[in-house]
Amino acid sequence: MPDPSCQLYLISPLDVGGGFADRLARALDAGEIAAFQFRVKDVPEHDAARLAEPLQRICADREVAFIINDSVGLAKRLGADGVHLGQDDGSVADARARLGREAQIGVTCHASRHLAMEAGEAGADYVAFGAFFPSSTKDTRHVAGPDLLQWWSMLFELPCVAIGGITPTNCAPLVAAGADFLAVSHAVWGGDEAAAVQAFTAAINAGLAER
């Protein structure tokens, strides 16, 4: 992923069939998006690959990084730009060995400074903190605050991603605190995706003005 001051990192809804490809294209055309994470659950790898391929092409056409959630195997099969690892999804070292030096590898670090520093030392390309707000996408077990982003961005050059319940109306303080990327899902796919991306763009600019 590029290294801007702050950009959107879209995460797919669990249902990426039907007309979702058109929605993805519309979202990516509405503003500057750094990455798209393909996230499905309980789907066999062959079926997941079939669902992912048209979405991967849409991202490639727009030079948006295509990241696979959880599965190093699927990322390798597709030749994806990278993989996002939860704390139970294997090591950064293993993912790097299987996917190569150019792969973007991100790690979920919840609200833990220790986990984030471990991920950085292991060679991750970014760390993800959250949840910052209650999320409709997944259960909120860990709660992070803007102070965590501020601390990380002051001490480390490794990019950080803020995730969890982020909307255009609440994101500006996270941007101001130093988030490099905002990972969002329901706030975009729960309504008009193009309008949501445009609203996020305006809110990000407002947050950057406070840095």
Domain positions in the chain are 7-208
Q: Provide the 3-class DSSP secondary structure of residue 28.
A: helix
Sign of CA pseudo-dihedral 155, 156, 161, 167: positive
pTM: 0.95
What is residue 140's predicted lDDT score, i.e. its pLDDT?
A: 64
- Residue 32 is encoded by which pair of tokens? 């500057």
Average pLDDT over residues 9-22: 97
User: How high does pLDDT run on average in the chain?
Assistant: 95
Q: What is the pLDDT of residue 141?
A: 77
Question: Exposed, middle or buried: residue 8 (CB in 10 Å: 0-12, 13-18, 19+)?
Answer: buried
Fold of 7-208: TIM Barrel (3.20.20)
Is the predicted pLDDT of residue 4 greater than 60, yes or no? no
Closest C-alpha to 12, from 40, 49, 31, 51: 40
pLDDT digits (tens, 9 = 90+) for 107-139: 999 999 999 999 999 999 999 999 999 876 666
Tokens matching residue 74:
């699927």
Q: What is the pLDDT of residue 2?
A: 43
The span from the CA of 107 to the CA of 58, in Å, is 24
